[in-house]
Amino acid sequence: MSLFLIAALPFLGALFPALLIRAGRNAAAASAGFTTFLAFVGLLLNAPAVLRGEVIQARLDWLPGLGLNTNFFLDGLGLLFAGLILGIGLLIILYARFYLSREDPMGQFYTYLLLFQGAMVGIVLSDNILLLLVFWELTSLSSFLLIGYWKHLPEGRQGARMALAVTGSGGLAMIAGMLILGHIVGSYDLTVILQHKEMIQASPLYLPALILILIGAFTKSAQFPFHFWLPHAMAAPTPVSAYLHSATMVKAGLFLMARMWPVLAGTPEWFYIVATTGLITMVLGAVIALFKDDLKALLAFSTVSHLGLITMLLGFGTKIAAVAAVFHIINHATFKAALFMSAGIIDHETHTRDIKRLGGLRFLMPITFTIALIACLSMAGLPPFNGFLSKEMMLEEAFHTSWMGSPYFIPGLAVFAALFSAAYSFRYIVHVFLGPKRHDYPAHPHDPGTGLWLAPAFLVFLVIAIGIGSNHIVGPLVSVAAGAVIGGELPYFSLKLWHGFTPALWMSLAAVTGGLLLLWLHPRLSKMWNAAPRPEAKVIFDSLLGTLTRASRGVTDALHNGSITRYSAIMVAFTIAISLYAYQSGVASEATRAVQQAGALPVIGWICLVSATGFIVLNHRNRLLALVLIGVVGLIVSLSFNYLSAPDLALTQISVEVVTIILMLLALNFLPKETPVESPLAIRARDAVIAIVAGTGVGGLIYALMTRDFSAPSISEFHLANSYKGGGGTNVVNVILVDFRGYDTFGEIIVLGIAALVIYALTEAILGSKVRAYLLNRKPDSPQDGDPHPLMMVVATRVMMPLALMVAAYIFFRGHNLPGGGFIAGLIAAIAMLMQYMASGFSWAAERQKVYYHGIIGSGVLIAAATGMGAWLAGQPFLTSAFGYLHWAPLEEFEWATAALFDLGVFLAVVGAVMLTLESLARLAWQPGMNSEHAMDINPARDDAAKLKEEV
Amino acid sequence: MEQFFELLITAFLIMAGLFGLVGSFGLLKLNDAMSRLHAPTKATTLGVGGVLLASMANAYANGPYLSVHELMITLFLLLTAPITANFIAKVHIHQRESRNSLPTAGEDGAWATKNLPDTDEG
């Protein structure tokens, strides 16, 4: 199966559980399992070739200009990790089906799980570090959803946020590191980077790149000092913990270190940073784990400790240590997933995870006991289980490694950690399962159904099988995976239980004996531990985050306090400042154009404009008057467009003006008629200064612009020359809209539609809230009119409607060659309908309006898109227009153009958007009693004289 | 013939100017809103109408063909101007008059604008 498909399958499959949950929980689980199984089979089909030592590649150039290509490759390491992710994923899907309760939304769970799985598979298959980063961030996001799955629990939400904050910020550091790495090599392809070890290690940027990449890996793999997020992520449902913390999420960091091992490892910097961090994490995790009473917390810290172990092995930088690391990755995944599942079973059946409340469960839950026993002994490093083999290899390697010249430091601490590791493993068995049966369990414990224990049972079967027949079962896989990590000749190694009386065996023996001793001393040690002061990671994290939040809030509040006046003051003042800088540092050329004589008409228009704006400034607190004055300004502007030979603009301006004023009148309905004076005089004076300076500046700029020629030739010449030849229309403005810049127009009608839908959605949201009651009971602030739908208005608008629509049609059809077009026609048609709403009221008109405006907007956009795509049929690019001439016998010859169809789309989108906005605003104003069955209040033709008399 | 059209056009224009002037003067001179309402009606009907008729005559006499666009303008003016006047009058009654200050409403008993249930008054 193609690697593209393997990587894409989980993402595609993520759709199904969310949809199929309607068909029941089994259907959702089965669909998730089936996609994972398909991807797993696809992976296995590639396995024989990989095991032969081949590297499978799939390449697709995505954004080659950025070096970002969807290249995938599958080598031994990728096979190992993808196998773990998909294989354990399958078991988790089975387990989760029986673990989650009826109240949990299971469709969501599987969708999140598959998204996460897809992101993980993407990481391990990527052959491009930028692509890898994309998947890396996707794991942070999808794990956030999974950890916070129980959103009703505060711990779940806080844990999810913490995990996202830590791994997300680590991811940011890693982006920087990866970019540096790509910069050094000159390619973002992993396969290329992996061949340039000398170049990278000789570069002065090696250390920064190394540190940044390691921060990413350490945060993801919960290495000290970033280990604290992992235990808090235990608030997630157990299947999530089992998946994220055994085989996938936390292993992503290890995967990255293993992947980069050939080029980054082998230097002292690598050794001291990675091995030391790993060592500290291993010891710290093991010690804390012993004193945790929560089963999952114990397992969480043990996971931290084992991750430290693997990190340390990778940090050693020797080939055989890398082999041990790869082997322990497999072993840890098997026994840790089984242990998490067993902890989940105990929690599920006894309703507690507190070790202090458990004990004696071996009688009540024999199957769970068997599973946990084998997995724990493997974790403690006892033969003949797989944990023993890799722990032995680790101790052997530790024995041969010296740190800062001391040969005892690493072996000593490794034994110390192994000792605690054995102790907490034994504690899991002894304090939970052994001992006398108790009578105070929170629930009656019993073994679960097959569905729950089958997955962990299969995993412990693997634990035993790998332990006994390691060379046959995982030998080849470890060889190819380690070969991929090392990137060269494999050292000799043998995966077997008995190596003779090696130092490692004695160390192992010491650890197990010490572990038993520690367990015996546990009650006393535990008291001392609890009495000792310890730094609490969550408190530190929260206070750090709180400080950051307060600081950013301080900055934000200073700039964004919700006052539009302040926003515009800041924006305008800033613009003035940079304009001033530009003015001082730039040079203005000499004026090249003479100033023309102004005629009488422009002067009259100018006087109207100036006095209207002056009155607005004086009277802006009276909102209605201000609106009327704005209308005057709009009228003069459209008249001046007309005077300056821009009839298209004039038509557009005047129709936009009408629609805007009507809609603003509707909105004013909800505001007081007057704006009170609130700001002190000083602030108003400041605002006046800003306004005057900005206004003068803009005026001067425009004057300067108009008295000079363009420094470069304008595009207008091209438009004028090609409008008829290329676009088939003599109205250049319309041809620009529907042809030259058709793509812009297409985008704009979509934006217009979205804006109208947003207004509609806001209305819906407001009407769904408490505000609805207020709106329904709102008292008007001045007395109402007794005759809101007067006879004359109603009759006149009825007469005008067909006339106006005819004008719209006329404007629409002539648009291509004479002033007009879809946009203007749409506005005119909208005005024709607006008049009906105004004359007879919203509810009366709405009852007679059968087509939803959403549909009109949608059909407009679709028609425009379909017209654009029609060009494909002729083998032309999107939105290429065509035109020709037709001659039908009785008619004059006329032109047809596909641009007219596109214009129809514009027309419909405009009509729909305007009307939807009107409808939304009118719905807010609606109050009971406004419904009228008659078009007008007083109708002489209607026989309701009796009713009228009665009212009076 | 030419002179006849010239005389006709001139007559229309003078009529238009005259009524425009009268309308504007009335708007300034008359005292209250209801009286003022009458003045601009002269300007919109006879004033603008005169210009339009002159334009049509001019197009027939000097232009390529008889233009009827002006009739459309007249139509729209005649449709919209009364409604504007009606609304101005209604607003005036609504805001400045009370039931008592209005003359009796004849057989209907109440003026439409003031025809509200008593509880809502004030």
pLDDT one-digit tens code per residue, A873-926: 888 888 888 888 888 878 888 888 888 899 999 999 999 999 999 889 888 888
Nearest-angstrom CA–CA distance, A854 and A760: 9
**According to the model, what pLDDT value does residue A267 have?**
87
User: With 50 as the cut, is the pLDDT of residue B119 above it?
Assistant: no
A18 domain residue, yes or no:
no
**Residue A463 within a domain:** yes
What's the pLDDT score for residue A91?
Answer: 92
By the CB < 8 Å criterion, does A796 face chain B?
yes
Residue spans per domain, chain B = 2-120
Beta bridge partners of A354: A294
Residue A694, amino acid:
A
Chain B neighbors of A785, CB-CB under 8 A = 90, 94, 113
With beta carbons less than 8 A apart as the criterion, state whether A514 and A419 touch.
Answer: yes
Domains held by chain A: number: 3
CB of A720 within 8 A of CB of A733?
no
Distance CA(A380)–CA(A336), nearest Å, equals 11
Distances A168 to A21, A145, A162, A497, A539 between C-alpha atoms, Å? 31, 13, 9, 41, 20
Check B120 against A938: CB less than 8 A apart.
no
Q: Is residue A916 within 8 Å of residue A759, measured between CB atoms?
A: yes
Q: Which residues in chain A have their CB less than 8 angstroms from residue B112's CB?
A: 786-787, 790, 937-938
Residue A57's DSSP bridge partners are: A73
Out of A790, A796, A948, name the one closest to residue B108 (CB).
A948
Task: Tell which wins on pLDDT, A636 or A670.
Answer: A636
pLDDT band, very low/low/confident/very high, at B108 (cuts 50, 70, 90): low
Instruction: State yes or no: pLDDT of B85 exceeds 80.
Output: yes
Rounded to an integer, the average pLDDT of A668-673 is 82
Q: Which residue has the higher pLDDT, A168 or A363?
A: A168
Say whether both A282 and A430 belong to one domain: yes
pLDDT exceeds cutoff 70 at A734:
yes
Once rounded to an integer, what is the mean pLDDT over residues B34-61? 88
Residue reference for tokens 């507690």: A352
> Closest-CA residue in chain A for B121?
A783
Of A469-483, A581-595, A856-870, the one with minimum mean pLDDT is: A469-483
pLDDT bracket for residue A947 (50, 70, 90):
low
Average pLDDT of the residues in A173-186: 91
Q: Which of the two residues, A813 and A948, has the higher pLDDT score?
A: A813
Q: Is A573 found in the same domain as A539?
A: no
Q: Which of A785, A803, A949 sits opposite B113 (nearest CB)?
A: A785
Shared domain for A498 and A534, answered yes or no, is yes
Contacts of B114 in chain A (CB under 8 A): 786
Look at A694 and B94; give whichever has higher pLDDT. A694
Q: Which residues in chain B touch residue A799, judged by CB atoms under 8 angstroms apart?
A: 79
Q: Is a pLDDT exceeding 90 seen at residue A177? A: yes
The predicted pLDDT at position B12 comes to: 93
Q: Which domain holds residue A658?
A: 565-582+599-706
What distance in Å separates residue A804's CA from the closest CA in chain B?
A: 10
* The pLDDT of residue A64: 79
Q: Cβ contacts of residue A222 below 8 Å, gap of 6+? A: A229, A230, A250, A253, A281, A303, A304, A307
Q: Does residue A166 form part of some domain? A: no
pLDDT score for B63: 78
Is the predicted pLDDT of residue A839 greater than 70, yes or no?
A: yes
The mean pLDDT value of chain A amounts to 87
Residue A246: per-residue pLDDT:
81
Beta-strand relationship, A72-74 and A894-897? unpaired
ipTM: 0.87
pLDDT digits (tens, 9 = 90+) for A60-89: 888 877 778 888 888 888 999 999 999 999
Q: What is the mean pLDDT of residues A289-299?
A: 88
Interval A927-949 mean pLDDT: 70
Nearest to B83 among A793, A937, A948 (CB): A793
**Do A868 and A927 sit in the same domain of this protein?**
yes
**Helix axes of A249-264 and A319-350: crossing angle, nearest 10 degrees:** 180
Residues of A in contact with B89 (CB under 8 A): none
pLDDT at A951: 54
User: pTM for this structure?
Assistant: 0.69
Q: Do A692 and A762 sit in the same domain of this protein?
A: no
**Contact yes or no for A793 and B86 at CB 8 A:** yes
Whole-angstrom distance, CA of residue A86 vs CA of residue A75: 16
A322 phi/psi in degrees, rounded to 5: -65, -40
Q: Let me know: does A158 contact A142? Beta carbons within 8 Å.
A: no
CA-nearest residue to B95 within chain A is A783
Reply yes or no on whether the pLDDT at A927 is more than 90.
no
Q: What would the mean pLDDT of A798-806 be, rounded to a whole number?
A: 91
Taking only the tens place, the pLDDT of each residue in A351-410 is 888 888 888 888 888 888 999 999 998 988 887 888 888 888 888 888 888 777 777 888
Q: Are residues A450 and A523 in the same domain?
A: yes
**Cα dihedral sign, A68-A70-A74-A80:** positive
- The pLDDT value given to residue B117: 59
Dump the DSSP string for A578-640: HHHHHHHHS-PPPP-SPPPPP-HHHHHHHHHHHHHHHHHHHHTTBHHHHHHHHHHHHHHHHHH
Task: Say whether B86 and A783 touch across the interface (CB within 8 A).
Answer: no
Confidence of residue A680 (pLDDT cuts 50, 70, 90): confident
pLDDT in tens, A88-108: 999 999 999 988 888 888 888
Question: What integer pLDDT is reported at residue B122 of this predicted model?
Answer: 38
Confidence class for position A277, pLDDT limits 50, 70, 90: very high
3-state secondary structure (DSSP) of residue A896: strand
A938 in B contact zone (CB under 8 Å): yes
Backbone φ and ψ for A303, nearest 5 degrees, come out as -65, -45
Closest by CA position to A750, among listed A857, A840, A660, A856: A857
Provide residues of B within 8 Å CB-CB of chain A.
Answer: 76, 79-80, 82-83, 86-87, 90, 94, 108-117, 120-122
Residues 750-789, chain A: which have Cβ within 8 Å of B?
783-787
The C-alpha angle A730, A829, A666, rounded to 5 degrees, equals 130
A537 Cβ contact partners less than 8 Å away, ≥ 6 residues apart: A227, A228
Stretch A856-881: mean pLDDT: 88
Contacts of A877 (CB under 8 A, 6+ apart): A871
Residues A605, A544, single domain; the answer is no
Q: How many CB pairs under 8 A join A and B?
A: 49
For chain B, say whether A628 makes contact (Cβ under 8 Å): no
Per-residue confidence band for A136, with pLDDT thresholds at 50, 70 and 90: very high
Contact across the interface for B109 and A787, Cβ inside 8 Å: no
Name the residue with higher pLDDT: A137 or A897. A137
B90, A800: Cβ pair inside 8 Å?
no
Note the pLDDT of residue A217.
92
Q: Which pair of tokens denotes residue A292?
A: 């945790």
Q: How confident is the model at residue A610 (pLDDT cuts 50, 70, 90)?
A: very high
Q: Which of A628, A785, A793 is most worth mutating to test chain B (most B CB atoms within 10 A of its CB)?
A: A785
pLDDT of B38 higher than 50: yes
- For the segment A769-799, what is each residue's pLDDT rounded down to a tens digit? 888 888 888 877 777 777 888 888 899 899 8
Same domain membership, residue A434 and residue A370: yes
In a domain, A95, yes or no: no
| Range of weakest confidence among A733-742, B95-104, B105-114 | B105-114
Top residue of B94, B96, B104 to mutate, by most chain A CBs within 10 Å, is: B94
The confidence score (pLDDT) of residue A764 equals 92
**Are residues A504 and A577 located together in one domain of the fold?**
no
Between residues A887 and A551, the one the model is more confident about: A551
Q: To the nearest whole percent, how much of chain A has pLDDT over 90? A: 31
DSSP state for residue A247 in the 8-state scheme: I
CA angle B25, B29, B35 (to 5 degrees): 105
Confidence class of residue A949 from pLDDT cuts 50, 70 and 90? low
**A787 contacts on B by Cβ (under 8 Å):** 90, 112-113, 115
B82: closest chain A residue by CA: A792
Q: How confident is the model at residue B121 (pLDDT cuts 50, 70, 90)?
A: very low
Average pLDDT, rounded, for chain B: 84
Q: Are residues A688 and A837 in the same domain?
A: no
